[in-house]
Amino acid sequence: MNTRQVIDDSAGPVSLSAAFNSDSSCFSVGLDTGFCVFNSDPCELKVSRDFNAGIGVAEMLGQSNYLAIVGGGKQPKLPQNKMVIWDDVKQKSVITLEFRTSVLRVRLSKSRIVVALLNSVHVFAFSTPPEKLSIFETTDNPLGLICLGKKLLAFPGRSPGQVQLVELETGNVSIIPAHSTSLRAIVLSPDGEVLATASEAGTLIRVFSTRNCAKIAELRRGVDHAMIFSLAVSPSNTYLAVTSDKSTLHIFDLPHPRTLSRRSQSPSSYSEDGVNQKWGILGKIPLLPRVFSDIYSFASAHFEIGDDFPGSTPYIPPLGTSVGRPSKGVLGWTDDQTILIIGAGREGRWEKFVIREGEDGKRFCVREGWKRYLGGG
């Protein structure tokens, strides 16, 4: 007999999405009643707007007063094919864009508005009125994967597993055949030199140089299938963090073109460094399966997904709630030792992890705090 109590829908606002700004100093939360903005560390409420209607996507422009918002939830404030730039100082929308299909994600810079739909990415100048600069076709992109850097834009290609890399200044497009199955997560390093990708398989993270699109390394999360929630690179471009539906945070040393050139190594020889080779000398024995020689994370930790995560089956938020948003395990680095993880849902969480070094010189990761940012934690 099911003795669990029925969740009371009137118990308070539910977070439909959660996203860090460009430097992870703040994060924005789309609610079924409006949106909130929090300072990241410590986790403190900064702005709260009650529209008495749902916001499924809320993306900040840096630390400014501008947010891109899209309707969501059972009673959306806006049609989901409409994106609004909200000026929170003036308390009104200043730019409105309409599309034929639902807006899945928006990324903002001072000069660009980038909008992901299911099968296309639209780039506009951040101006009034906004000027359409380009449109790119993509394979099905239900998670709205887009990365907007200072000089580059990355998003899925026209075939599953491909990445399109666009130079913002010239419009030149490079195609990276990253995986054989559909992409689950992509990230550009803060300096724009490195692209990391994960597929639906979730076992390997592939790392590419954006200068020549060459593969630098493969990093192994594990050997069993997992759904990758988020990828994030540290401010100094030295670490890569990964979260998945295994409730595990993994941290890797991130191979970088500059590091490889200083070591006079070819990209293929990165794994011969012995760095984080989980199986030690076994990795050097010929003919053993490659999992023995792969590069593993140097530290890992458990994070909370929450009771409202629907099992371990691949989860894409349904239309009308938080379209295209990874609902859990969203990563942000506040400095090179501090990682934050936020998640949406009925019990939206904030967790803080810190990288430390033991007396033996080995690095490890510990959780230093957590909070239910909507109250009650």
Separation of alpha carbons 347 and 284, rounded Å: 46
Q: For 321-349, what is each residue's pLDDT tens digit?
A: 444 444 799 999 999 999 999 999 888 99
Q: For 100-136, what is each residue's pLDDT tens digit?
A: 999 999 999 999 999 999 999 999 999 999 999 999 9
pLDDT of residue 346: 84
Torsion of CA 8, 305, 67, 145, to 10 degrees: -130
Domain boundaries, the chain: 15-372
Q: For 167-219, what is each residue's pLDDT tens digit?
A: 999 999 999 999 999 999 999 999 999 999 999 999 999 999 999 999 999 99
pLDDT of residue 13: 85
Q: What residues pair up with 67 in beta bridges, in sequence order?
A: 60, 86
Q: For 260-300, what is each residue's pLDDT tens digit?
A: 655 444 444 444 444 444 434 434 444 434 444 478 999 99
Amino acid (one-letter) located at 316: I
Domain 15-372 fold is Methylamine Dehydrogenase; Chain H (2.130.10)
Q: Specify the pTM.
A: 0.88
Residue 11 has pLDDT above 90, yes or no: no
Q: How many H helices and E strands in the chain?
A: 1, 29
Using alpha carbons, select from 217, 225, 297 the residue that is nearest to residue 263. Answer: 217
Does 40 or 272 have the greater pLDDT score? 40
- Tell me what the pLDDT averaged over the chain comes to: 86
pLDDT of residue 365: 97
Separation of alpha carbons 260 and 116, rounded Å: 34
Residue 157 pLDDT level (bands cut at 50, 70, 90): very high
Least confident of 1-5, 87-91, 138-142, 232-236: 1-5
Separation of alpha carbons 181 and 302, rounded Å: 27
